[in-house]
DNA sequence: CGCAGGTGACTGACCAGTCAGTAACATGTA
DNA sequence: TACATGTTACTGACTGGTCAGTCACCTGCG
């Protein structure tokens, strides 16, 4: 792609940043539509319309439908991981409080923002795009699990938590949060079955009791 | 469909059952392929090949791709719900043991059988097939949650569990199990991140500690 | 002018669904 | 037994609609 190459030469390789906010508008529209319908069923023409451009314009910013898809998954999750790491780094106080903060914080993003949509998309499309799995496993999941399990290990060492498999417990800490996000993006908000926010609170309490010394 | 009408007249309306096991072979192949690639991306020709028939033969047993899809989701989950209800009904002993039995039992099916695939499929395709959501919410989820929350309520009443929101706890009991199933069917078995069986054991222990009185 | 930043109309591939045909087996009948 | 007639279960080849990706052309601005 000539245009892309020229811009990359001017602004640096890697994440393309344009002066216009077109790419971001396209990605946002794509996250919403792909989250609803899946990758294959989402028509580029609909993405274009939702972003207020023509289909051909998408090809000014992305090489292909697949390329847009990767961009969407990449941009959708990284900020959250970074934010969580930062929150852990600056936290002071009991580790139980920190865990609760993590659960409610990530949980809220999962249930009510694009992040839950991304998780659903990755789960749904994983087998079709193996690179996606590798990327997410290494860049998102491994990091998040590492952060949480280090918190749990610290708590075990300090006697705040009972001795247990910190990695397994880290997974158990985020699995309900992830499932809640998937639920909200599939079955949808349906308080008659589960109220997402009440569930997160209950999870924090039960989980922390469950690993308490 | 003349032939279909005649068979339905003879064997009853609804789920068509033939003497041959073709429909089941087609459904099994479809569960595997749709679980891997999603509904839209799965080619009926590939399902046919995997089932050892021609594409046209599928139309002898199912009205359309969508019809096959519904059959697959319906047949895939119901037996498990029934089995779980039966296990609960015949259980004697502590409710903690019963919960552990439920977690490990359903958990094993989720992680290692078609059931996990079905859950993944429903989550992924929910927005495209609203009838699917209604069906699953009412026939599968509501029942399973009802069963589990009745166990928890009984435990609260008997003093075995602490007072808490039984419905939310029921959701927390199965969410990690569901997520584990989705994980195994997307990111795949990867013990370096989570060992599915160890996770289930850890979940049973932590969850039961978490709601213990 | 020259060019960044578009667009609308087109095309080729792909695939659900159809249809005419067929092989294997059952049934009648002499 | 032999041969016609009918039925069941299935197939290969086709079609029509859909959509990712392309391309010739436009347009406002420095």
The CATH number assigned to the domain with range A2-63 reads 1.10.10.60
- Tokens, residue A120: 């659903």
- Using a 10 angstrom Cβ sphere, with 0-12 exposed, 13-18 middle and 19 or more buried, the burial of residue A19 is exposed
- Cα separation of B16 and B58, whole Å? 13
Minimal CA separation from B15 to chain A, in Å = 25
Q: Choosing among B175, B191, B207, which should be mutated to test the A contact, i.e. which has the most A CBs within 10 A?
A: B175
The nucleotide lying nearest B45 (C-alpha to C1') is C15
The single-letter DSSP state of residue A128 is G
- Cα separation of B63 and B78, whole Å? 22
CB contact under 8 A, A168 and B199: yes
Helices (H) and strands (E) in chain B, counts: 11, 0
Q: At A6, is the pLDDT very low, low, confident or very high (cuts 50, 70, 90)? A: very low
**Stretch 70-109 of chain A: residues touching chain B, C-beta under 8 Å:** none
Q: What is the pLDDT of residues A149-184, one digit of tens each?
A: 999 999 999 999 999 999 999 999 999 999 999 999
Residues of chain B with CATH 1.10.357.10: 72-211
Beta-bridge mates of residue B97: none
pLDDT over 80 (residue A1): no
- Cα separation of A30 and A90, whole Å? 34
- Cα separation of B31 and B43, whole Å? 12
- Cα separation of B124 and B83, whole Å? 25
- Tokens, residue B70: 């519904």
pLDDT over 50 (residue A51): yes
CA dihedral B55, B61, B65, B68 (to 10 degrees): -130
* Residue partners of B147: CB distance under 8 A and separation at least 6: B84, B85, B88
Where chain B has pLDDT below 50, the residues are: 1-19
Q: How far is CA A66 from CA A17, A62, A127, in A?
A: 19, 9, 14
Q: At A188, is the pLDDT very low, low, confident or very high (cuts 50, 70, 90)? A: confident
What's residue A26's pLDDT?
96
Strand C and B65 CB separated by under 7 Å: yes
Residues of chain A with CATH 1.10.357.10: 73-211
- Cα separation of A59 and A47, whole Å? 12
What's residue B102's pLDDT?
92
* Residue partners of A41: CB distance under 8 A and separation at least 6: B40, B128
Residues of chain A with CATH 1.10.10.60: 2-63
- Cα separation of B151 and B169, whole Å? 11
CATH of B72-211, one of 3.40.50.970, 3.30.413.10, 3.40.50.2030, 1.10.357.10: 1.10.357.10
* Residue partners of B197: CB distance under 8 A and separation at least 6: B108, B111
Q: Does domain A73-211 have CATH number 3.20.20.190?
A: no
pLDDT over 50 (residue A5): no
Q: How far is CA A161 from CA A87, A147, A156, A213, B82, in A?
A: 20, 16, 5, 4, 38
What's residue B1's pLDDT?
32
A93 touches A161 (CB < 8 A): no
B185 touches B33 (CB < 8 A): no
What's residue B204's pLDDT?
98
pLDDT over 70 (residue A138): yes
What's residue B183's pLDDT?
96
**HEC profile for A47-78?**
HHHHHCCCHHHHHHHCCCHHHHHHHHHHHHHH
Check residues A137 and B154 and name the one with the higher pLDDT.
B154
pLDDT over 50 (residue A189): yes
What's residue B188's pLDDT?
82
Picking from B169, B168, B186, the residue whose alpha carbon sits closest to that of residue B123 is B186
| C1’ D20 / CA B191, Å | 38
What's residue B212's pLDDT?
97
Q: At A17, is the pLDDT very low, low, confident or very high (cuts 50, 70, 90)? A: very low
What's residue B12's pLDDT?
37
Strand D and B54 CB separated by under 7 Å: yes
What's residue B3's pLDDT?
39
What's residue B98's pLDDT?
94
- Tokens, residue B174: 């199965």
**Stretch 106-145 of chain A: residues touching chain B, C-beta under 8 Å:** 120, 122-128, 133, 136-137, 141-142, 145
What's residue A15's pLDDT?
32
What's residue B21's pLDDT?
83
| C1’ D9 / CA B123, Å | 36
């Amino acid at each position: 792609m000539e245009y892309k190459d020229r811009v990359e030469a001017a602004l640096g390789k890697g994440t393309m940043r344009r002066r216009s906010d077109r790419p971001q508008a396209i990605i946002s529209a794509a996250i919403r539509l792909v989250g609803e319908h899946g990758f294959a069923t989402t028509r580029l023409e609909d993405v274009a319309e939702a972003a207020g451009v023509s289909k051909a314009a998408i090809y000014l910013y992305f090489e292909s439908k697949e390329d847009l898809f990767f961009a969407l998954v990449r941009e959708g999750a990284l900020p959250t991981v970074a934010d969580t790491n930062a929150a852990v780094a600056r936290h002071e106080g009991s580790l139980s409080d920190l865990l609760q903060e993590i659960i409610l914080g990530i949980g809220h993003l999962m249930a009510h923002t694009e992040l839950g949509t991304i998780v659903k998309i990755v789960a749904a499309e994983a087998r079709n795009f193996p690179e996606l799995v590798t990327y997410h496993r290494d860049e998102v999941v491994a990091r998040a699990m590492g952060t949480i399990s280090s918190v749990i290990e610290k708590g075990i060492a300090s006697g705040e938590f009972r001795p247990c498999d910190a990695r397994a417990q880290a997974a158990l800490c985020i699995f309900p949060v992830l499932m809640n996000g998937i639920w909200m993006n599939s079955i949808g908000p349906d308080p008659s079955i589960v109220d997402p926010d009440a569930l997160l609170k209950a999870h924090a309490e039960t989980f922390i009791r469950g690993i308490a010394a």
